[in-house]
């Protein structure tokens, strides 16, 4: 039985062109396959990638615009050299970055996976909480 699975795994690895020469190579391949087999791990990994990409883009853009604002090369600041305008511009830029990051994290981690049990339910249990009696004070 185990030899059949081993032969099948060997055939799949050969078809994919994966070269496994040492035990460490096999462990690495099996670790990658295990994460593919677990949809929750794949979902978490993708969520972390999305958060990292969005954070990188948002912070890079905000840093660039902040440099423009602070050096006075900001096109909208023509004739407005008061420090209040610069501070207001920085507040708007970094406030937008904060809202974008908050929305990204909430969208990715705030929702339960599609096949998750309701919150508070035990494993495999569908028991509901006891209702409050009508004569409660």
Q: Are residues 33 and 46 in the same domain?
A: no
- Answer for the pair 93, 62: CB distance below 8 angstroms, yes or no: yes
* CA–CA distance, 42 with 48 (Å, rounded to integer): 10
Q: Decide if 59 contacts 97 (C-beta within 8 A).
A: yes
Flag whether 127 is in a domain: no
Residue-level pLDDT at 59: 94
Rounded Cα distance, 97 and 37, in Å: 35
Angle at 90 between CA 89 and CA 95, to 5 degrees: 100
Residue 128 pLDDT more than 70?
no
* pLDDT digit string, tens, across residues 1-55: 567 777 787 777 778 777 777 778 778 877 777 666 677 777 777 888 888 899 9
Of the candidates 73, 47, 63, the residue with the CA atom closest to the CA atom of residue 96: 63
Output the pLDDT for position 2: 66
Residues 57 and 15 in one domain: no
Report yes or no on 7 lying in a domain: yes
Model confidence at 63, pLDDT cuts 50, 70, 90, reads very high
User: In terms of Cα–Cα distance, which of 54, 67, 50, 68 is closest to 97?
Assistant: 54
d(CA 56, CA 9): 39
Task: Find the domain containing 67 and state its range.
Answer: 39-110
Q: What proportion of the chain, given as a percentage, has pLDDT over 70?
A: 69
Helices and strands in the chain: count of H runs, count of E runs: 4, 0
100: closest CA among 58, 45, 56? 58
For residue 70, is pLDDT > 80? Answer: yes
pLDDT at residue number 64: 93
> Does some domain include residue 44?
yes
In the prediction, which pLDDT does 125 show? 53
Number of domain units in the chain? 2
| pLDDT of res. 123 | 52
């Amino acid at each position: 039985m185990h030899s059949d699975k081993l032969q099948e795994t060997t055939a799949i690895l050969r078809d994919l062109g994966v070269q496994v020469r040492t035990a460490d190579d096999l462990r690495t391949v099996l670790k990658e396959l295990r994460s593919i087999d677990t949809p929750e791990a794949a979902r978490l990994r993708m969520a972390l990638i999305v958060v990292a990409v969005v954070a990188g883009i948002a912070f890079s853009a905000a840093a660039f615009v902040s440099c423009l604002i602070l050096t006075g090369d900001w096109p909208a600041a023509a004739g407005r050299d008061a420090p209040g305008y610069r501070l207001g511009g920085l507040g708007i830029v970094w406030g937008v970055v904060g809202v974008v990051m908050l929305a990204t994290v909430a969208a990715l981690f705030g929702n339960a996976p599609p096949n998750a049990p309701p919150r508070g339910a035990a494993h495999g249990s569908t028991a509901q909480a006891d209702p409050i009696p009508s004569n409660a004070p």
